[in-house]
Amino acid sequence: MKMSIVFVIASLFTLNVGAQVINIPDKAKMHFAKKYPSAMDVEWTNNLANYTVKFQLDSLKQAAHYSVDGEWTYTEYPLDFETLPEEIKKSVTKSRFSDWKIESGAFVENSKNEKLYRIEFKSGVNKRYVFYQENGKEVRSTVTL
Asked if residue 34 is part of any domain, the answer here is yes
Strands 126-132 and 138-144: antiparallel
Residue 60 sits in a domain whose CATH number is 3.10.450.360
Confidence (pLDDT) at 5: 41
pLDDT computed for residue 11 by the predictor: 41
139 within some domain: yes
Q: Looking at the domain assignment, is residue 39 inside a domain? A: yes
Residue 98 lies inside a defined structural domain of this protein: yes
Question: Does residue 13 sit within a domain?
Answer: no
**Structural domain includes residue 16:** no
Alpha helices in 1-145 (DSSP H): 2-18, 26-35, 86-94
Q: What is the pLDDT of residue 15?
A: 36
User: Residue 19: inside a domain, yes or no?
Assistant: no
36 found inside a domain: yes
Domain count, the chain: 1
Q: Which residues constitute the domain of residue 69?
A: 24-144
DSSP string, 15-49: HHHH-------HHHHHHHHHH-TT-EEEEEEE-SS
Low pLDDT (below 50) residues in the chain: 1-19
pLDDT digits (tens, 9 = 90+) for 65-84: 999 999 999 999 999 999 99
